[in-house]
Homo-oligomer: A and B are copies of this chain.
Amino acid sequence: MTTEVDEAPGTRAADKLVAASISRDAGFLLAKLHATGSILNNRALAEFGLKERSYSVLALANSELEPTQREMAEFLSLDPSQIVALIDELEKRGLVLRAPGRQDRRAKIVSATAEGSAVFRQAEAAARAAESEALAGLSDAEVGELKGLLRKALWSERP
């Protein structure tokens, strides 16, 4: 999440390192593509006062799935305390609100306000554009394959 992302492809000095064994490591490839994508994503989301994290939370809040904070934490691979901070922020901005869980009053269900939904829709468009840019090297079909494989790896779905 540090290096720049401009520059014509194939021209960078460090590209010689593609030949290193680590370039066959899935973890490394995942991390690297995620890193370059994050830069683009955060750049695109900044306009809405969001980052990848807060965008993810807003996306879940905007769904009709009534997620609790605990579920969000698990799903987003974050510590519950980080969710607290993210939601505090979004709630302060009036994009999201907490309601006690109906079956379990310890839990808090997070949902988007009307404004939160509106912001999310715009941010979503920006995020989609950033994703296209990050995956510009792939055809639409390949993007679909990639997502299918990622989803299958995560949840053993059909690709």
The answer to whether A92 has its CB under 8 Å from any CB of chain B is: no
Size of the A side of the interface (Cβ < 8 Å), in residues, is: 74
Overall SS of chain A's interface:
helix
The answer to whether A119 has its CB under 8 Å from any CB of chain B is: no
Measured CA separation A134–B25 after assembly (Å): 12
Given that A28-B56, A56-B22, A60-B17 are contacting pairs, would A138 and B154 also be in contact in the complex, using a CB cutoff of 8 Å? no
A76: B residues at CB distance < 8 A: 32
Total copies of the chain: 2
Measured CA separation A52–B36 after assembly (Å): 18
Measured CA separation A24–B127 after assembly (Å): 12
**Closest 7 interchain pairs by CB?**
A29-B150, A14-B74, A35-B77, A14-B71, A22-B59, A30-B34, A14-B75
15 A–B contacts, CB within 8 A, in A order: A14-B72, A15-B75, A16-B65, A17-B71, A20-B63, A22-B56, A27-B34, A27-B41, A27-B127, A29-B147, A30-B37, A31-B52, A34-B34, A138-B149, A146-B149
